[in-house]
Amino acid sequence: MKRIAIQGEIGSYHDVASHRYFEHEEVSLLCCDTFEQVFASMKADTDVIGMIAIENTIAGSLLHNYELLRESGMQIVGEHKLRISHSIMCLPDEDWDDITEVNSHPVALMQCRDFLKRHPRLKVVETDDTAGAAKTISENQLGGHAAICSKFVAGIYGMKLLEEGIETNKHNFTRFLVIANPATAPQLTRHININKASIVFTLAHTEGQLSQVLSIFSFYQINLTKIQSLPIIGKEWEYMFYVDITFKDYQRYRQSIDATRPLTTNLSILGEYEDGKSTI
């Protein structure tokens, strides 16, 4: 059985992503209130695997999770890209005319902006988790409240599904990272096709330094799928670069890393894994 630490409640998108990624295995979830608690759970038990959202095609990157990952020393062992489709639900004995307030995570609310504009009478209240909003409404029998979350939540907490697919943009995907303790990471990547890596490095604040690094990856036919810069606190105008790369030849990828090291500072490989598939 895989023990997975996630941010959110049962029925959250982290829950869905965990079961999709480990679809042929039994999964036990450790539900955490924050991403910090996810990493704390992994540090407390090296067998616990983490599933964390890292970017969304609409909302962008979760910058804080990059920092948590780097500081934790955990390794990326996989990824999953999940199609995010939001639904609105309420208590089973209520209907549209009864709803006066809608609760959800701020990102989910933002992704349903057009839907909410069409219902201006609804008071919008932010919560820590999509599924958690439905759970709170159900457990406390909060009449007049509705939750925006995954459609799968309705059956879990006994809610009535009012409408599906209320997100503004139907091309809405979240990329989740599967992370593990370095001691157990090799067991999880043993039988996969490693063709992607995530690295982080800093550069001297000199002209053309980043372009030289990018030229090296180009020479070795390494494809950059994402580059994210974050400021280094206490060092004005200096940045840390988080880079995702894909490759067909593992040996050439390793050669590109060796060629890049002299031009960078503190280069670390956050994980080597298989380019994740997308599911709906």
Beta bridge partners of 173: 83
- Token readout for 239 is 């940045």
Question: What distance, in Å, lies between the first and last C-alpha atoms of the chain?
Answer: 24
Taking a C-beta distance cutoff of 8 angstroms, is the pair 58, 106 a contact?
Answer: no
For residue 207, the model assigns a pLDDT of 77
Taking a C-beta distance cutoff of 8 angstroms, is the pair 129, 154 a contact?
Answer: no
Q: How far apart are CA 40 and CA 12, in angstroms?
A: 20
Taking a C-beta distance cutoff of 8 angstroms, is the pair 176, 163 a contact?
Answer: no
For residue 280, the model assigns a pLDDT of 65
Q: What is the pTM of this model?
A: 0.93
For residue 194, the model assigns a pLDDT of 95
Contact partners, residue 206, CB within 8 Å, separation at least 6? none
For residue 209, the model assigns a pLDDT of 85
Q: How far apart are CA 134 and CA 34, in angstroms?
A: 18
E strands present in the chain: 2-7, 27-32, 49-56, 60-61, 75-83, 87-90, 101-104, 123-126, 145-149, 160-163, 173-180, 196-202, 223-231, 239-246, 265-273, 278-279
- Token readout for 6 is 């996630």
pLDDT in tens, the chain (280 residues): 999 999 999 999 999 999 999 998 999 999 999 999 999 999 999 999 999 999 999 888 998 999 999 999 999 999 999 999 999 999 999 999 999 999 999 999 999 999 999 999 999 999 999 999 999 999 999 999 999 999 999 999 999 999 999 999 989 999 999 999 999 999 888 888 999 999 999 987 777 888 999 999 999 999 999 999 988 888 877 889 999 999 999 999 999 999 999 999 899 999 999 998 777 6
Contact partners, residue 158, CB within 8 Å, separation at least 6? 92, 138
